[in-house]
Structure 1
Amino acid sequence: MTKCRLCGSSSLASVVDLGATPPCESFLTADQLDQPELTYPLHLRVCTECWLAQIPPLITPEETFTQYAYFSSYSTSWVEHARNFVDGAVERLGLGPDSFVVEVASNDGYLLRHVVARGIRCLGVEPSVNVGQAARDAGVPTLTAFLHPGTGAAVRAEHGPAELVVANNVYAHIPDVVGFTRGLRALVADDGWVSIEVQHLLTLIERNQFDTIYHEHFQYYTVASAARALASGGLSLVDVELLPTHGGSIRLWARPAEAAGEPSARMVDVLAREKAAGLRELSGYAEFAARVARVRGDLLRFLVDAAGRGETVVGYGAPGKGNTLLNHCGIRPDLLAYTVDRNPYKHGRYTPGTRIPILPPERIAADKPDYVLVLPWNLREELTDQLSFVHTWGGRLVFPIPELEIVEVKP
Structure 2
Amino acid sequence: MTLADNATQTTSDGADADPVSTCRLCGSAELRSFVDLGATPPCELFLTADALDRPEMTYPLHVRVCSRCLLAQLPPLITPEETFVEYAYYSSFSTSWVQHAERYVTSAIERLGLGADSFVVEVASNDGYLLQHVVDRGIRCLGIEPSVNVGVAAREKGIPTLTAFLTPETGEQVRAEYGPADLVALNNVYAHIPDVVGFTKGLRALVADDGWVSIEVQHLLTLVERTQFDTIYHEHFQYYTVLTAQRALASGGLALVDVELLDTHGGSIRLWARPQEVAGEPSQAVRDVLAAEEAAGLHTAEGHDGFAEAVSRVRDDLVSFLIDARRQGKKVVGYGAPGKGNTLLNYCGIRPDLLAYTVDRNPYKHGRYTPGTRIPIVAPERIAEDRPDYVLILPWNLRTELTEQLAYVRDWGGQLVFPIPTLEVV
- How far apart are the structure 2 equivalents of 1:73 and 1:171? 20
Q: Deviations over 1:260-313 (max 9, x none)?
A: 011000000000110110001234222111111111111001001100000000
Is 1:180 aligned to 2:199, yes or no?
Answer: yes
1:230 corresponds, among 245, 249, 260, to 249
- How far apart are the structure 2 equivalents of 1:212 and 1:129? 24
For the 8 Å contact 2:360–2:379, the answer to whether it is kept is yes
What aligned pairs does 1:48-63 form with structure 2 within 5 A after superposition? 48-63=67-82
The amino acid across from 1:305 in the alignment is: D
The residue number in structure 2 matching 1:195 is 214
- How far apart are the structure 2 equivalents of 1:217 and 1:79? 22
What aligned pairs does 1:211-290 form with structure 2 within 5 A after superposition? 211-290=230-309
- How far apart are the structure 2 equivalents of 1:191 and 1:241? 21
2:42 corresponds, among 14, 23, 27, to 23
Is 1:367 aligned to 2:376, yes or no?
Answer: no
The residue number in structure 1 matching 2:349 is 330
The amino acid across from 1:289 in the alignment is: A
The amino acid across from 1:199 in the alignment is: Q
Q: What SS does the aligned partner of 2:103 have?
A: helix
- How far apart are the structure 2 equivalents of 1:166 and 1:191? 15
Moved over 4 A (4+): none
- How far apart are the structure 2 equivalents of 1:72 and 1:331? 26
How far apart are 1:191 and its partner, in Å? Answer: 0.1
The residue number in structure 2 matching 1:131 is 150
- How far apart are the structure 1 equivalents of 2:309 and 2:255? 36
- How far apart are the structure 1 equivalents of 2:110 and 2:359? 39
The residue number in structure 2 matching 1:376 is 395
The residue number in structure 2 matching 1:145 is 164
- How far apart are the structure 1 equivalents of 2:397 and 2:154? 25
The residue number in structure 1 matching 2:141 is 122
How far apart are 1:5 and its partner, in Å? Answer: 0.3
The amino acid across from 2:57 in the alignment is: L
Q: What SS does the aligned partner of 1:166 have?
A: strand
The amino acid across from 2:207 in the alignment is: V
- How far apart are the structure 2 equivalents of 1:25 and 1:85? 27
Is 1:403 aligned to 2:398, yes or no?
Answer: no
Q: Deviations over 1:177-235 (max 9, x none)?
A: 00000000000000000000000000000100000000000000000000000000000
2:405 corresponds, among 383, 386, 411, to 386
The amino acid across from 2:245 in the alignment is: A
- How far apart are the structure 1 equivalents of 2:258 and 2:66? 24
The amino acid across from 1:204 in the alignment is: L
Q: What SS does the aligned partner of 1:336 have?
A: coil
2:31 corresponds, among 12, 27, 31, to 12
- How far apart are the structure 2 equivalents of 1:211 and 1:169? 15
How far apart are 1:64 and its partner, in Å? Answer: 0.2
Q: What SS does the aligned partner of 1:151 have?
A: helix
The amino acid across from 2:379 in the alignment is: P
Q: Deviations over 1:27-54 (max 9, x none)?
A: 0000100000000000010001111000
Unmatched tracts of structure 1, length 5 or more: none
The amino acid across from 1:360 in the alignment is: A
The amino acid across from 2:392 in the alignment is: L
The residue number in structure 1 matching 2:182 is 163
The amino acid across from 1:401 in the alignment is: I
- How far apart are the structure 2 equivalents of 1:18 and 1:364? 30
The residue number in structure 2 matching 1:41 is 60
Q: Which moved more, 1:275-284 or 1:154-163?
A: 275-284
Q: What SS does the aligned partner of 1:123 have?
A: strand
TM-score (normalizing by structure 1): 0.99
For the 8 Å contact 2:66–2:301, the answer to whether it is kept is no
Between Structure 1 and Structure 2, how many residues are aligned? 407
2:115 corresponds, among 85, 96, 105, to 96
1:293 corresponds, among 299, 308, 312, to 312
Taking only aligned residues, the RMSD between alpha carbons, in angstroms, comes to: 0.5
TM-score (normalizing by structure 2): 0.95
Q: Deviations over 1:119-148 (max 9, x none)?
A: 000000000000000000011100000000
- How far apart are the structure 2 equivalents of 1:105 and 1:348? 27
Q: What SS does the aligned partner of 1:194 have?
A: strand
- How far apart are the structure 2 equivalents of 1:2 and 1:64? 22
The residue number in structure 1 matching 2:129 is 110
